[in-house]
Amino acid sequence: MAVNVQQLSRQALGIGRFAREIYAMRAQNAYHGLVRGDPLSQLQLAAGRADPHAVHERMRALGPVLPTRLGNLSTTSHAVCQQVLRSRAFGVDDPAAPRPGSDMLDLSLLALNPPDHTRLRRLAAPAFTPRRMAGYEALVETAIDRLLDPVARQGRSFDLMAAFASPLPIAVITRMLGLPDEPGRLRHIGATVASALDGVRSIGHALTLYLADRDLKQTFDALLVRAAADPGDDLTSALLAQEGDQITLEELSALVGLLLLAGFETTVNAIGNGVRALLADREQWQLLVDDPSRAGAVVEEVLRYDPPVQQTARVLLTPEPVRLAGVEARRGQWVMLLLAAANRDPDVFTDPHRFDVTRPDMGEHLAFSGGIHYCLGAALARMELAAAFRALAVRFPGLRPAGPVVMRPGTVLRGPRRLPVTF
Ligand code: HEM
C-alpha cells in the first residue's frame, strides 16, 4: 500500500493542534477556576464536581443571571430556566454560534430546532405512550427480580451500581430497542460515549471515544439490518417502518443512539443518587421502608435534590434581545441553565438543601428540563425508578452504606460510580 506522506503529515499536524487545543482548554479552566474564581470553570474542577451545590450557591449570591468568561450567560434561577426553556426565541443549535465546549456527539433530538425536532419527536413519541408504558412495567419488574435475587442469595455486601443501578436501565432500554443482550459491552460503550458530554479531555480520551462511537455505529447498523429483515415488536422496528419520507437512516441511527444513551446514562445516576441520599438520612429511608407506596414521591425528591442531568444550555436565535431577570441576552449568546441549582432555588423550594421525601413542593423540579425538549422518557424513568426504590426498600429494609462512595468524573451528568452497601 502506498504511503501518502503529505496526508500523514497533515494528519499529524492536525492531531498536534487538536492536542494543544484540548490541553489549552484544560489549563484555561484550571486558571479561571482556581486563580480567577470563575464559578463555571470551578464546576469542571475536582472540588466543584465533588460539591457543585456550593459553587451554585456562590453564583446565586452574585445574582440570578451572570456573564460567563466566554461572553455567554449562566443562570441558577428556576424562573429564568423556565423562561428560557419555554421560549421559542431560544434553541439548541445555532450554526453561527457553536455551543461552548461542543462535543463530538450527534445528539439527535437534543441538538435539533424545529421543524426537524418536531418531525423526529412526533415519530418517537408513540413509543412512550401510557399504553406502551404499561407493557414495559412487567419488563422492569422482571429485570429487577433477575438482578436482586442473586444479590439476596449471595451475601450481605455489594456495589449497588454494578449489581443493580447500571444493569437495570440497560436491560430495559436494550429490550425496548431490540438490541442483543450484552450488558457489559453496552455499559462500557455507553459510559464512554456519555463522557463526551463534558468535552474531550485528552488524545487518549478522543481515541477511546472514536472507538466506542464506531462500535456503537456497527451495533446500530446490525440492529437496523436485523429490524429491516425481521421486524419485531421493538421500537427500532417501529421507527424503521417510517424510514424514507419521514426519517433518514442517519437520523434514525442518531435517534436510537440518543435513546440508548438517555435510557441508561441518566436512570443509573438517579438510582445511585437516590440510594445515596436515602441512606445518608436514616429517617428518610425508614419512611420509604414503612410505606413503600411513597416510592413515587421519593423519585421526585431524588430528582430535585440531585438531578442526574445537572445542566443544559440554550442559544438566542432571534435578532431582538431578550431580558432575563434584568440582564439582556443577545442573538447567538448561550445561556447555561444550571438545572441542579434551579432545583434548590429558595424562591420555589422551602429549605431547599434538605432532602425531604414528604415535602409538598418537590414536583416543581426541572430534572427533566422543560419546553419542547422536555424528557421524552420521563414517564419510563419515573416508573423504572419507583419500581427500583420500592424493590430495594421491600427486600432490604436494613440497607446501609458499607464504604466510601466514588463519584464518576463529569459535570453534566452526576452520579456515583461505586456505591458499596450492605443489608
Ligand atoms: C432519571 C432519568 C432521566 C433524566 C433525569 C432525564 C433528563 C433529561 C433532560 C434534562 C432532558 C432535556 C435536556 C435539555 O433540555 O437540553 C432529556 C431529554 C430527553 N430524554 Fe431524558 N432523562 C431521563 C431518562 C430518560 C429515558 C429513560 C429516556 C428514554 C429511553 C429518555 C429520553 C430522552 C430523550 C429522547 C430526550 C430528548 C427530547 C427532545 O429533545 O425532544 N430520558 N432527558
What single DSSP character describes residue 297? Answer: H
Whether 258 maps to a domain, the answer reads: yes
Q: Enter the C-alpha cell of residue 395.
A: 427486600
pLDDT beyond 80 at 187? no
Q: Where are the beta strands (DSSP E) in 293-422?
A: 312-316, 322-324, 327-329, 334-337, 400-401, 406-407, 416-418, 420-422
Whether 219 maps to a domain, the answer reads: yes
Whether 48 maps to a domain, the answer reads: no
Query: Which pLDDT score, from 0 to 100, does residue 192 have?
Result: 77
Residues with CB under 6 A from ligand 1: 109-110, 121, 173, 258-259, 262-263, 266-267, 270, 307-309, 312, 367-369, 373, 375-377, 380-381
Q: What is the CATH number of the domain that holds 268?
A: 1.10.630.10
State the number of CA atoms in the 13 A half-sphere of 152 facing the CB: 14
Alpha helices, H only, 63-129: 78-86, 116-124
Residue 52 — very low, low, confident or very high, per pLDDT cuts 50/70/90? very high
What distance in angstroms lies between residue 380's CA and the mean position of ligand 1's atoms? 10
Query: Which pLDDT score, from 0 to 100, does residue 102 have?
Result: 52
Task: Please give the average per-residue pLDDT across 90-116, as a whole number.
Answer: 82
Whether 278 maps to a domain, the answer reads: yes
Task: Please give the average per-residue pLDDT across 378-396, as a whole number.
Answer: 96
CB contact set of 38 (below 8 Å; sequence gap of 6+): 32, 68, 69
Q: How far does Cα 397 stand from its chain's mean position?
A: 29
pLDDT beyond 80 at 50? yes
Q: How many domains does the chain have?
A: 1
Whether 31 maps to a domain, the answer reads: no
From 261, 270, 256, select the one nearest 103 (Cα to Cα). Answer: 261
Whether 9 maps to a domain, the answer reads: no
Q: Enter the C-alpha cell of residue 137.
A: 412495567
pLDDT beyond 80 at 65? yes
Query: Which pLDDT score, from 0 to 100, does residue 361 have?
Result: 92
Domain range enclosing 402 = 64-422
Whether 133 maps to a domain, the answer reads: yes
Query: Which pLDDT score, from 0 to 100, does residue 7 have?
Result: 44
Query: pLDDT per residue over 240-284, tens digit each?
Result: 887 777 888 888 888 888 888 887 789 999 999 999 999 999 999
Whether 1 maps to a domain, the answer reads: no
Q: Which atom of ligand 1 is nearest to the CA of 370?
A: 15
